């Protein structure tokens, strides 16, 4: 449940933090690919189509209309409620690595002109794990949807609940899910987008509560880590176990959407989920 298992390691850096390398080994095909090529193609491998991870800011940049994002709660910062070993040091290292105070960026923006309350997780900050700040930002994004009568779109990329915040982190599952329930009761839609990886306590809370659930191809999506499953059971697992494709096969995901199609797909779906436009009125 807790984030400790981070799935497949990808050496790819997000768009804006590439300069340190001019080339990188693709986690999909193993070929050496140029960073410039990845940059030009939304961090999707030109050779094999492997979707490399994106930072939260890069994600928002390719998703929302230019200049439309108004970020909220930017400085909401983590604490150390349990005085957990090395947590404060990990926070500093994660902040240096990601340029963020915690693993979620939220705000209000437009997608092809349609206003949304939006959020994107950042795996570079402690594996995108959900502690108090991520939980609070997700809950506020839902509540902002209710206040401003906006659909909510959240991109997840998380190993699960943040172990270093213990039970406080586990409670974020309940908090975000309760906020999602309120959003639904208020008649507003929630589109959940699962990106690599979405597992554990995030997949088992708000991320699975989308009225519609989209996923990027090849993303690790599942309850427990695949390694845990293998160890505990020794059973033969299907090759695509705990991927977007597996979850689609089992009815947990509406569509698998390649990165280049995500923005138009969201725009199309949002037009259906708008309360204003109905027939016969």
Partner 1 sequence: MAVSAFEFEKPIAELEELLSALKAPEKRAEAEAQGIDLDEAIATLEGQLRQAMRQVYGHLTPWEKTLMARHKDRPYSLDMIRLIFDDYMEMSGDRLCANDEAIVAGFAHLAGKPLAVTGQQKGRDLKERQRRNFGSARAEGFRKALRVAQLAARFGKPVVSFVDTAGAAADLRAEQHGVSEAIARNLAAFSVLPVPTVAVVIGEGGSGGAIALGVADRVLMLEHAIYSVIAPEGCAAILWHDKAKAAEAADALRLTAQNALELGLIDEVVAEPLGGAHRDPAAAAAAVREALERHLAEIGAMDRQELLDRRYKRLRSFGVFGAVAPDAEAPAEGE
Contacts (CB under 8 A) with partner 1, residues 62-121: 70-79, 81-82, 84-85, 107
* Gap between the Cα atoms of 57 and 196, Å rounded: 16
Least gap, CB of 14 to partner 1 (angstroms): 21
Site for Zn ion, residues 101 to 120, rule: CB under 5 A: none
Report if residue 137 touches Zn ion, rule: CB under 5 A. no
Report if residue 239 touches partner 1, rule: CB under 8 A. no
**Residue 50: which of Zn ion, partner 1, none does it interact with, CB under 5 to 8 A by kind?**
Zn ion
* Gap between the Cα atoms of 193 and 270, Å rounded: 13
Cβ-in-10-Å burial (0-12, 13-18, 19+) of 130 comes to buried
Nearer to partner 1, 16 or 112 (CB): 16
> Going along 165-266, which residue ranges are E strands?
190-199, 212-215, 221-222, 255-256
Residue in 195, 167, 274, 160 with CA at minimum distance from that of residue 10: 195
**Residue 201: which of partner 1, Zn ion, none does it interact with, CB under 5 to 8 A by kind?**
partner 1
Site for partner 1, residues 151 to 180, rule: CB under 8 A: 161-163, 165-175, 177-180
**Residue 261: which of partner 1, Zn ion, none does it interact with, CB under 5 to 8 A by kind?**
none
Report if residue 162 touches Zn ion, rule: CB under 5 A. no
* Gap between the Cα atoms of 263 and 58, Å rounded: 13
* Gap between the Cα atoms of 178 and 161, Å rounded: 16
Number of residues that bind partner 1 (CB under 8 A): 73
């Amino acid at each position: 449940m807790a984030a400790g298992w981070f799935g497949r390691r990808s050496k790819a850096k997000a768009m804006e933090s590439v300069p340190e390398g001019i080339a990188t080994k693709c986690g999909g095909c193993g070929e050496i690919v140029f960073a410039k090529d990845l940059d030009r193609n939304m961090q999707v491998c030109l050779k094999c189509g492997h979707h490399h991870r994106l930072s939260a800011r890069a994600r928002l940049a390719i998703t929302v209309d230019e200049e439309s994002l108004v970020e909220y709660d930017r400085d909401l910062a983590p604490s150390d409620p349990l005085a957990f070993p090395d947590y404060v040091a990990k926070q500093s290292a994660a902040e240096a690595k990601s340029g963020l105070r915690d693993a979620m960026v939220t705000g209000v923006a437009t997608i092809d002109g349609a206003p949304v309350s939006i959020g994107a997780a950042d795996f570079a900050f402690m594996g995108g794990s959900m502690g108090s700040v991520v939980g609070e930002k997700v809950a506020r994004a839902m509540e902002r949807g209710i206040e401003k009568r906006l659909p909510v779109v959240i991109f997840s990329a998380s190993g699960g609940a943040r172990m270093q915040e213990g039970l406080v982190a586990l409670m974020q599952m309940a908090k975000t899910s309760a906020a999602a329930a309120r959003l639904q009761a208020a008649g507003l839609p929630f589109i959940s987008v699962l990106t690599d990886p979405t597992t554990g306590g995030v997949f088992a809370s708000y991320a699975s509560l989308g009225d519609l659930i989209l996923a990027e191809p090849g993303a690790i999506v599942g309850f427990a880590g695949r390694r845990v499953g293998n160890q505990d059971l020794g059973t033969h697992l299907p090759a695509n176990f705990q991927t977007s494709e597996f979850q689609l096969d089992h009815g947990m995901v509406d569509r698998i959407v390649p990165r280049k199609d995500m923005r138009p797909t969201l725009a199309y779906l949002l037009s259906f989920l708008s309360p204003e436009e109905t027939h016969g009125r």
